[in-house]
Each structure stands twice: as C-alpha cells, then as structure tokens.
C-alpha cells in the first residue's frame, strides 16, 4: 500500500508552524481531473516534484470506439484571505495576475491554450481528521456570485480586497457580514473596514477542452511553478513532545531518521530541540482515480535540491538515483492516499 510503508531516507523534519511568524503558507498540487469516467484510462504517469517545480507526463488511452471530449481541469488548493491577512504566503510578487504558477499544458508535443477560472469559496471549518482531498472535490460553499454582487475582486491580494472593503459603506459591510462573507469584530452600529475580516478563499482552476481519439493513446504533459508552504521547524530526539506525533505519522519518522535529524542540526540545539528550515510539499494523487482503472505505470521522481538538504516521505520502494534525486515506481497503481514530502535544510549562515 503506497504511502503507508516506512522508508528511512536520511531526513531532517520539521515541526508544525504554530506561530504566524514562524512560517509561510503555500499551495498544494493536484493531478488532472476529467470527472469520473470509464472511457479513458491513465496508462502512464511520470511525476517530477521539487521545491520549485512540478512536471507531469501522462499517457491516456481512449478505451472506446468513439471519440470522447470533455474538460480537463487542474485546480490549485484554496488560498485563504483570512490567512493572507496575518501570514506570509508563497505567491508571486503580483498575486493579482491571472496565472500564479506559470502553468503550461502540452498535448502530443504541441502547447495548448489554457483557460483560468477564479472562484471564491467559504471553506468548511478545519477538522483534525478532515480528508485533504475534500478541498478539491468540495472546497466549500461557492460565494463567487455574492462577492461579485458586492463588487469584491476575486484575487488573492490582501491590499486589493482591503481597498475594496474600505470603499464600502456601513450598510454594505453589514450586508456582507449577514451573508457570512465577513466576520465582524465590532458591536458598533456603524461598521468600517477596520471592523471586519474576509472569510473567503480563492480557488484557481486551469482547464481546456480535450478530445481523446477513439481507441488511441494521447500524451499530455503539464508543468508549473511549485509554491509550497514552509518556515522554521523544530525537532527533538527522541520525539517526546506530543505535538511531534503528527509529523512522525505524516512523514514516517522512525528512530534512525530522528537520530539523523538531531545529529545533522546539533549546532542549533537549545533546550533539547534542534531547529532549521522546512518546505512542506504535497500532491493529491487520488485525482487519478477519476480515470478508468489503475495507473498502468507510475513513476515518481523527487529532487530535494541540494545535497545538504534532507528528504522525508512515507513510501515503499524508494531508490536513490542521484546526489539529490529519489524515485518510486509502481505498476497497476491505485492511489489510496496522497503524497506528503518534507524537504528541510539547516539555517544558512
């Protein structure tokens, strides 16, 4: 079962970002979706992930005797305006630009034009055991029309949103509070932009219309800039602090890996803990299950970026293929979990 075995790749692993100043938010990555279909099989998926880039090469096959046409969609994870108000986020300098990740799609060797949709959602309350895939299947209540009615920009740009709120009068702000779009911190009869906080998140969806020819294979590739979250991390060997248990489970931190963390970061030790920098990479593999049958051949390549960096993930059959690269290969693969990767490094002097 993929992502549930324990692999002891040399690793440095991080603590959760408990304080806003300790880390920055970022985006999760997902595969292409097409709606549930029994007509199109994913024969191959060759996935490359690094801290800076994601590249995926697919071979799809139409299993039927007729052409199949539909919308191929690549969604980014929701970008919370509430989070952006209080924390840094791994976004371009111009977060209002249409394409945040330089997404490109190539079909049988030819680049195809890609449309970009923006929607706004109110995400459900955070739950400890919430399935991460839900943010792609059902990211929350769609409030796009309501925000457009109130003249709000659909951008993950705090300055633009705050300026739009400042231009609204008290009655307009109160209406947005009553509709659940804003949270109010004031009992005063008249509201100002300083009294409210936006509650929505922005979801970007890249998509194009694709015809899969009857009975034929079709090669589709896409690539984009990876913008994962990260920040300061803390570790303890042995990991006795309760808040480290989640990381142990999520990234399969066994005793040898824990010792490697402590040894590698010994120079930063304080009160029994060591510290460094981490990037938290994730990729939603289970979107592949919307295609017909298992993935015939799956290959994952991870590049940790520097020989001084550490890598940790839960996976079976990890092979080191270069100074900074690791691979996993599967046949007839049905993902039953998503991919979480930790890339970590000592503090740079």
Average pLDDT in the chain = 86
pLDDT at 310: 81
For residue 42, what are the CA distances in angstroms to 64, 73, 137, 295, 333? 14, 15, 19, 5, 10
Report the alpha-carbon distance of residue 147 to residue 163 in Å, rounded. 14
* Model pTM score: 0.84
- The DSSP output letter for 179 is T
Contacts of 223 (CB under 8 A, 6+ apart): 53, 54, 55, 56, 103, 104
| Domain residue extents for the chain | 20-143+200-345
pLDDT at 218: 98
Contacts of 19 (CB under 8 A, 6+ apart): none
pLDDT band at 131 (very low <50, low <70, confident <90, very high): low
* Model pLDDT for residues 3-24, shown as the tens digit of each residue: 323 333 333 333 333 333 368 8
Pick the CATH number of 20-143+200-345 from 3.30.420.40, 2.60.40.420, 2.60.40.3680, 3.50.50.60: 2.60.40.3680
pLDDT band at 55 (very low <50, low <70, confident <90, very high): very high
pLDDT at 221: 97
Contacts of 25 (CB under 8 A, 6+ apart): 79, 80, 83, 84, 87, 88, 89, 90, 229
When pLDDT is averaged across residues 193-197 and rounded to a whole number, the result is 94
- The DSSP output letter for 99 is -
The pLDDT of residue 249 is above 60: yes
Is the CB of residue 80 less than 8 Å from the CB of residue 228? no
When pLDDT is averaged across residues 224-235 and rounded to a whole number, the result is 90
The pLDDT of residue 144 is above 70: yes
Burial class (CB in 10 A: 0-12, 13-18, 19+), 188: exposed
Helix or strand run (H / E) with residue 221: strand 217-225
pLDDT band at 46 (very low <50, low <70, confident <90, very high): very high
The pLDDT of residue 84 is above 50: yes
pLDDT at 8: 33
% pLDDT > 70, the chain: 89
pLDDT at 22: 66
167-82-229-130 Cα dihedral, nearest 10 degrees: -140
pLDDT at 226: 94
């Amino acid at each position: 079962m993929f992502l549930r075995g324990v692999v002891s790749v040399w690793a440095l692993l991080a603590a959760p970002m408990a304080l806003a100043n300790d880390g920055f938010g970022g985006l999760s990555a997902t595969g292409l979706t097409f709606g549930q279909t029994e007509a199109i099989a994913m024969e191959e998926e060759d996935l490359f992930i690094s801290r800076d880039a994601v590249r995926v090469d697919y071979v799809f096959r139409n299993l039927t005797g007729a052409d199949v046409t539909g919308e191929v969609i690549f969604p980014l994870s929701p970008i919370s305006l509430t989070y952006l108000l209080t924390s840094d986020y791994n976004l371009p300098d111009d977060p209002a630009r249409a394409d945040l990740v330089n997404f490109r799609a190539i079909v049988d060797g030819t680049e195809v034009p890609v449309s970009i949709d923006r929607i706004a959602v109110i995400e459900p309350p955070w739950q400890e055991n919430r399935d991460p895939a839900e943010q792609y299947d059902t990211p929350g209540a769609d409030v796009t029309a309501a925000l457009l009615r109130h003249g709000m920009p659909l951008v993950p740009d705090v300055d633009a949103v705050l300026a739009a709120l400042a231009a609204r009068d008290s009655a307009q702000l109160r209406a947005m509070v009553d509709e659940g779009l804003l949270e109010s911190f004031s009992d005063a009869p008249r509201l100002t932009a300083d009294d409210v906080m936006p509650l929505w998140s922005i979801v970007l969806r890249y998509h194009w219309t694709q015809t899969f020819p009857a009975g034929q294979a079709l090669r589709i590739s896409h690539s984009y800039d990876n913008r994962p979250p990260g920040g300061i991390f803390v570790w303890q060997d042995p990991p006795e602090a309760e808040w480290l248990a989640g990381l142990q489970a999520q990234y399969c931190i066994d005793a040898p890996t824990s010792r490697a963390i402590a040894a590698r970061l010994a120079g930063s030790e304080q009160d029994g803990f060591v510290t460094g920098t981490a990037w938290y990479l994730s990729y939603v593999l289970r979107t592949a299950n919307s295609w017909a049958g298992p993935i015939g051949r799956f290959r994952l390549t991870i590049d940790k970026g520097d020989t001084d960096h550490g890598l940790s993930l839960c996976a079976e059959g990890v092979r080191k293929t270069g100074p900074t690269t690791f691979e996993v290969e599967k046949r007839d693969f049905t993902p039953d979990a998503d991919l979480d990767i930790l890339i970590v490094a000592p503090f740079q002097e």
